[in-house]
Amino acid sequence: MTEIRAFNDKGISKFSALVAEKSPDISNQVLDLIANDSYSTALGFTVDLIKFETRLELAEHLWKYFAPGEPGFPHAGNRDMWSWLSAAYFPVLLGNPAKVKSIGEPARWVLEESTLRQHRHLISGPFMIYRANFPRVEDAMAGLASLVLVPGEVVERVAGKAQMFHGSAMAVATELYYDKKRKKLKKNSSTRGLASAQRLSIFLGQIDLTLDYPVMDKEHLIDLLPDEFNIFLDAKE
């Protein structure tokens, strides 16, 4: 079990710099950083840091510690805690030495203040989708089925827009792009062409001008979809 902490400003700055530099020795540097009391403050609870392949598995694990009534619940909105937790997860996910090419942009590890980019955080992103759709998590698989280190285009589109983050829009995205039998996103679901998650986002943005689609039920919203989306609705699972 690992004692959970929250970065201070100095810790955030240091971690951000390490991620941006992508040094071959970054895993060891991050381990030194999270263990240094001058960069963070203990929050009084522990979490078992286990490596998971999918975003769903990670979110389910974190829910045990950050759900209402659990020790981490009061800290679930603490941006500096999530950044520290992702630093603690860094060697777990990437190994030591780190797979430098898999690090990606800083927003994947340092939770930003901007709500437009928070969904890109690899650790808090899956948890936030899980929490926003609980207890109907099965309707949120469009945002949870992909790999932790490779969220993909569907996650980028459905989790990056407030109206699609939960409820009917997320349920429709799951109906379109998630294969329930294989428990994976459907083939070609991460494209950017016809019937893509990007096109779904654009369509929902258009009808948002005249319809309050977030309060619609899933079936009603599916009936409004253009015919191009039938390619996924009719796809055999």
The residue from 80, 113, 146 where one domain ends is: 113
Region of poorest pLDDT, from 12-21, 149-158, 189-198: 189-198
Domain that holds residue 50: 1-113
Whether residues 101 and 154 share a domain: the answer is: no
3-state DSSP assignment of residue 112 = coil
Residue 206 lies in a domain: yes
Across the chain, what does the average pLDDT equal? 92
Residue 34, pLDDT > 50, answer: yes
pTM for the model stands at 0.92
Alpha helices, H only, the chain: 9-21, 26-35, 55-66, 79-94, 124-133, 152-159, 167-177, 197-207, 218-223, 230-233
Q: Each residue of 80-102: pLDDT tens digit? A: 999 999 999 998 998 766 677 78
- Token reading at 175: 């109906």
- Are 94 and 30 members of one domain? yes
Of 79, 113, 147, the position where a domain reaches its end is: 113
Q: Are 148 and 90 within one domain? A: no
Mean pLDDT of 45-54: 95
Mark whether 144 and 179 lie in a shared domain.
Answer: yes
Per-residue pLDDT band at 160 (split at 50, 70, 90): confident
119 in a domain, yes or no? no
- Whether residues 1 and 71 fall in one domain: yes
**CB-side neighbour CA atoms (13 Å) of 97:** 7
Task: Determine the pLDDT at residue 193.
Answer: 82
The residue out of 78, 113, 148 marking a domain boundary is 113
Q: For residue 191, what are the β-bridge partners? A: none
Q: Output the pLDDT for position 163.
A: 78
Place of tokens 């096109």: 199
Q: Would 20 be classed as within a structural domain?
A: yes
Instruction: Report residue 237's pLDDT band, with 50, 70 and 90 as the boundaries.
Output: very low
68 found inside a domain: yes
Structure-token match 């390619």, residue found: 231
Q: Is residue 75 part of a domain?
A: yes
Domain annotation covers residue 120: no
Rounded CA-CA distance 9/51 in Å is 27
Q: How far apart are CA 181 and CA 79, in angstroms?
A: 36
The answer on pLDDT for 146 being more than 60 is: yes
Q: How many domains does the chain have?
A: 2
